[in-house]
Structure 1
Amino acid sequence: VVSTSLLVSVDRMGDVAEDKSSFYSNAEDYWREVPPTVDGMLGGYGSISSIDISGSKAFLRKFLGDGEGKTGKGRALDCGAGIGRISKRLLLPLFRTVDLVDVTQEFLDKARTFLGDDAKRVGNYYCCGLQEFIPEPDRYDIIWIQWVIGHLTDDHLVAFLRRCQKALRPAGLIVIKDNVSYEGVVPDDVDSSVCRDLDIVRRLVGRAGLRVVHEEQQLNFPKEIYQVHTLALR
């Protein structure tokens, strides 16, 4: 989730691509051991949750409402949802229905109670890695992808974004919010992920046939973690 790796930046995606199965299985093993709590979802940085949600809400509200190019408020998809922290505080207050997808069944089981009364507005809980997940076409107004793209290889990220584009309703929006490295690709062997720089993320977005329509840096996060940027894609 929140990458605190301070390793020297190197381009390692080539190595990862050669051993996809262990890249994914090691990540699944890591998350299986993480407690199903907000602090667990945020790598021990539970204290930043409110700042994160406030920033995301301000970002998202620029696109919601009536009028040309505005996004509907029908259904959202929370990718890498964990226990539903983002669904509970960001998506369910703004959308009628939310679907959750995560690779760890224990987190999705916890989400059913963590979401409280709002759980009745959850459409589906999908237990699946994003590299294999196929969202239903023409279903979502917002697809929210936060702190999870580092768990996908370049090719799988591009393919997933293409599937997400097909899953959008008219005027729908894909949002990526994630850590970005200062240069290149930085591997994190602890949770079996990578952190890419912004230029690489933008290039992969372009390969998926999408364009960045708005971009912001999340402010007021601890200085020791990588910068976090939010990108709206169409």
Structure 2
Amino acid sequence: MHTAFEPTATWYSDARQYWKDVPSTVEGMLGGLGRLTDLDVRDSTWFLDDTTYGLDCGAGIGRVTKQLLLNFFDRVDLVECTGKFLEQARDDVLKQEVETGRVDRLFHTGLEAFSPEAQRYDLVWCQWVLNYLTDDDLVLFLKRCVAGLKPNGIIGVKENCAVSEYVMDHEDSSVTRSDAVFKSLFERAGLHVIKEAVQSSFPSDLFTVRM
């Protein structure tokens, strides 16, 4: 049994404040590492098949939806807690897709408060966002996502992984978990891993990224 990390009383509000000051650009979404976006998308395609309806969690300005998910899904919904990022997605990055209906619903809320519509999605995609949830809220969120999946639907998770159980970052109010911690939380949510891989070709000084 791992030792749970202790979030601060202002865990979520601190994270929201941090992201309010981040530019609404690919560079902003990737912490100044925009050059990695093509490598990121390339490796993520290994997990996706053509299907109908996807949900992009922690969608930011819609980078993953634009470059990855819309290549596989007829329609995608977005969830994002930072309003200016959703506006950038709607009015610029995904403007055409919003107008044609391929990007459907845009939810302005944090994942700790989000409940997907029952049996709506073939895939719920969570990338570089679960590190902003506490352990208990992450388990509850995943359980709600299960209820939002169609039969045979899946949850895709792509996150930084630490060697130690938890690495806290108080600047943006996030926590990087180990692979073992993630899997224990998945188990608590009633999930099991059906496929996994490690992101390739990223700089060696970054956290390992697992899918």
TM-score normalised by L of structure 2: 0.95
Whole-Å separation in 1 of the counterparts to 2:95 and 2:46: 24
Q: Give the AA of the match of 2:124.
A: I
Which residue does 2:180 correspond to in 1? Answer: 199
SS in 2 for 1:212: coil
Aligned residues: 207
> Contact 1:92–1:118 (CA<8 Å) still a contact in 2?
no
Which residue does 2:28 correspond to in 1? Answer: 40
Whole-Å separation in 1 of the counterparts to 2:46 and 2:181: 25
Pick aligned residue for 2:124 from 143, 147, 154: 143
Which residue does 1:226 correspond to in 2? Answer: 207
Which 5+ residue runs of structure 2 have no aligned equivalent?
A: none
Q: Does 2:61 correspond to 1:83?
A: yes
1:173-192 equivalent positions in 2, closer than 5 A: 173-192=154-173
TM-score normalised by L of structure 1: 0.86
Whole-Å separation in 1 of the counterparts to 2:139 and 2:56: 18
Q: Does 2:77 correspond to 1:99?
A: yes
Q: Quote how far apart the aligned CAs of 1:12 are.
A: 6.5
Q: 4+ runs of 1 displaced by more than 6 Å? A: none
Whole-Å separation in 1 of the counterparts to 2:36 and 2:47: 17
Pick aligned residue for 1:49 from 37, 58, 70: 37
Q: Give the AA of the match of 2:149.
A: L
SS in 1 for 2:197: strand
> Contact 1:12–1:187 (CA<8 Å) still a contact in 2?
no
Query: In the TM superposition, what whole-angstrom CA distance separates every residue of 1:21-74 from its partner, at most 9, and x where no partner exists?
Result: x000000000000000000000000000000001001222xxx26xxxxxxx11
Query: In the TM superposition, what whole-angstrom CA distance separates every residue of 1:147-203 from its partner, at most 9, and x where no partner exists?
Result: 011100000000000000010001111000000001110000111100000000000
> Contact 2:158–2:209 (CA<8 Å) still a contact in 1?
yes
RMSD of Structure 2 on Structure 1 (CA):
1.3
Q: Quote how far apart the aligned CAs of 1:123 are.
A: 1.1
Whole-Å separation in 2 of the counterparts to 1:91 and 1:156: 25
SS in 1 for 2:42: helix
SS in 1 for 2:204: coil
